Amino acid sequence: MRHSRLAVLSRLRTVRRSWWVIALALVIVAGTGLWWTQRDSQAAGATTTTATVSRGDYSTTVTASGTVEPARQEDLDFAVSGEVTAVRVAAGDRVRRGQVLARIDDDTLTAQRTAAESSLDAALVQLDDDQDADASATQLAADEASVASARSQLAQAEEAVQDAVLRSPMNGTVSAVNLAVGDQVGGISGDSAAITVISTLSFEVAASVGATDAAALKKGMQAEISPTGATETVYGTVASIGAIATADSSGAATFPVTIDVTGKPQGLYAGSSADVVITTRKVIDVLTVPTPALHTENGETWVWLVDATADGGRRKVTITTGTTYGMSTEVKSGLNEGDQVQIEAFSPTGGGGTRQGDQQGPVIDFQGPPPGVAPQGSFGVGQ
């Protein structure tokens, strides 16, 4: 009886182990099948298109952002002292060259001019008298020196009277007025100009670029300017590239660049922002291949050339490339205009699938024994 019970227990252990072995085998088979299915699905996601080797015109550019500024700005101040007696313009007024903008009291200055005139007259009379009296050469030299000094003082007095009137040095628009009647001015001094006049028909863009871009720029290069809010592109040329760098908000070195706006475009306003694209190099009739068609391996660049006579309808062709212009790359040798090349693209299907190049083997997540079979201790297959 005891032997019978032992035999039954032995058979039960054997059955349980068999269930474990069968369950593990089923999971491995299922996982392997799933992995092969996913891999085949990803391979099926690879697509091939063809593109034509062609010729075209291309350019390399430098982009920047800046501010539209008047090409000319004049900060005006009285060169002499006095009380302001008249201000004849306000901010926004259009003015002509030579137009009177403001005046100061010139009574004192006029009196000084009159005195200088009298001094010159007296010096001339003295010189004439001494010449008539056949005075010595020393005396005549002194008289001539007095005349020269008197002339100089009169010229200064006359200039001071003229400086009592502030005039516009150009046609333009008054952008700022910082004085009023009754103010005392003391010549050219202070932090702000008395009156500022700017040009409104000629502009420039003040921008900045990084060190690498600055090295590629030269005076006279063409630029396309897109002012904020403008509907038409404005054109210009690089006028200057600064040699002294400043640090931007991130600490990187930037260099100032000035672009002169060509012509007199409408709708351009000082102070508005603008995006600038500067053409640094332009090439004509260049043979190019789509950049995505290129493959690089061991320092060698090659493409799949469509060839109906080759195995698989394509053959590997080594090429020599030049400058890359975005999605097109210059071809120096290896291809001809009109050749067809293949471009391979991978588009894995299904959410959560592995990416191309990241494929892995199956991952088995064994949750437990089949229903009705009690878990046992750790064991290996064949145990």
H-type alpha helices, the chain: 2-44, 107-132, 137-163, 211-216
Geometric angle at alpha carbon 324, from 257 and 301, rounded to 5°? 150
From CA 158, how far away is CA 109, in angstroms rounded? 8
- By the 8 A CB rule, do 329 and 289 touch? yes
Which residue has 């200088």 as its token pair?
116
- By the 8 A CB rule, do 47 and 135 touch? no
Q: What's the farthest any 2 CA atoms get from each other in the chain?
A: 172
For 24, half-sphere exposure in the C-beta direction (CA atoms, 13 angstrom radius) is 12
* CATH 2.40.30.170 fits domain 64-70+202-283: yes
Per-residue pLDDT of the chain (383 residues), as tens digits, is: 444 444 444 554 544 555 444 444 444 444 444 444 444 444 445 688 999 999 999 988 999 999 999 999 999 999 999 999 999 999 999 999 999 999 999 999 999 999 999 999 999 999 999 999 999 999 999 999 999 999 999 999 999 999 999 999 999 999 999 999 999 997 665 568 999 999 988 999 999 999 999 999 999 999 999 998 777 889 999 999 999 999 888 888 999 999 999 988 877 888 899 999 999 989 999 999 999 999 999 999 999 999 989 988 999 999 999 999 889 999 999 999 999 999 987 655 444 433 333 333 333 333 333 343 333 333 333 33
Structure tokens at 135: 């005075």
Number of neighbours of residue 283 by Cβ within 10 angstroms: 15
* φ, ψ at 103 (rounded to 5°): -135, 155
Burial label for 380, CB within 10 Å (0-12, 13-18, 19+), is exposed
**CATH class of this structure's domain 46-55+285-346:** mainly beta
Structure tokens at 160: 């001071």
Would residue 245 be called left, alpha or beta, if left means φ above 0 and alpha means ψ between -120 and 50 degrees? Answer: beta
Closest Cα to residue 87, out of 8, 163, 183, 9?
183
Burial label for 197, CB within 10 Å (0-12, 13-18, 19+), is buried
* CATH 2.40.50.100 fits domain 72-104+169-201: yes
From CA 365, how far away is CA 62, in angstroms rounded? 55
> 1-14 b/e with 16+ CB inside 10 Å = b?
eeeeeeeeeeeeee
From CA 283, how far away is CA 289, in angstroms rounded? 15
Domain spans in the chain, listed from the N-terminal domain onward? 46-55+285-346, 64-70+202-283, 72-104+169-201, 106-163
- By the 8 A CB rule, do 226 and 274 touch? yes
